[in-house]
Amino acid sequence: MSDCLFCGIVNGEIDANIVADDDHWVAFRDINPQAPTHILVIPKKHVATVNNLKAEDEVLVGELVRAAGQIANDEGIAEEGYRLVLNTNAGAGQSVFHIHLHLLGGRPLSWPAG
Ligand code: 5GP
Ligand code: ZN
C-alpha cells in the first residue's frame, strides 16, 4: 500500500535496522524501544489489522510467530522469557496500520499489560 510506513520498510524506501527476513516477513528494531530487545516482525504483504486477516493468512501468521521465537533465541532472551504483542486498533494503542508482532524482552515484563 503506497502510503503505508511499514510497506515502505518492506520495499526499501524507508530505512530500518533489519535483523532478519525471508520471502514472507521482515523483522527490524523498533525506533522507540520499550525494552532492551524490541523488534517488530511484519508480513511483507499489507494487512491493516488482525481484524483483516483471512483464512489464507493462517500460515503467514504462524511464520511471524515462529520467526519471533527464532529471533528471541538469536537475541539471547528465549530462556529468560519475552513477550509477543499484536496491538489491534486504537483502543489497544495500534498506531501503524500494517500488522506487526512486537517482540519484547531483556527486562522483567509485568502483567497484566497496561
Ligand atoms: P503500535 O503502536 O502500532 O503497536 O506499534 C508501532 C510501533 O512502530 C511503535 O512501537 C513505534 O515505535 C514503531 N515505529 C513507528 N515508526 C517507526 C519507524 O519509522 N521505524 C521503526 N523501526 N519503528 C517505527
Ligand atoms: Zn503496509
**98 assigned to active site:** no
User: In this predicted structure, what is the pLDDT of residue 1?
Assistant: 82
Beta strands in the chain, from DSSP E residues, in sequence order: 18-21, 25-29, 37-43, 82-85, 101-105
CATH numbers and ranges of domains, the chain:
5-105 (3.30.428.10)
What are 65-70's contacts with CB under 8 Å, separation 24+?
65/101, 67/20, 67/22, 67/25, 67/27, 67/41, 68/27, 68/39, 68/41, 68/101, 68/103, 70/20
Using a cut of 0.75, tell me whether the model's pTM lies above it.
Answer: yes
- pLDDT digit string (tens) for 44-73? 999 999 999 999 999 999 999 999 999 999
Q: What's the gap in Å between 30 CA and the centre of ligand 1?
A: 6
Q: Which three cell numbers stand for residue 97?
A: 496500520
Cβ–Cβ < 8 Å for 2, 14: no
pLDDT in tens, the chain (114 residues): 889 999 999 999 999 999 999 999 999 999 999 999 999 999 999 999 999 999 999 999 999 999 999 999 999 999 999 999 999 999 999 999 999 999 999 999 999 998
Cβ–Cβ < 8 Å for 41, 79: no
Q: What's the gap in Å between 74 CA and the centre of ligand 2?
A: 26
Ligand index nearest the alpha carbon of residue 98: 2
> Of 83, 96, 97, 104, which is best to mutate to test ligand 1, by the most ligand atoms within 8 angstroms of its C-beta?
96
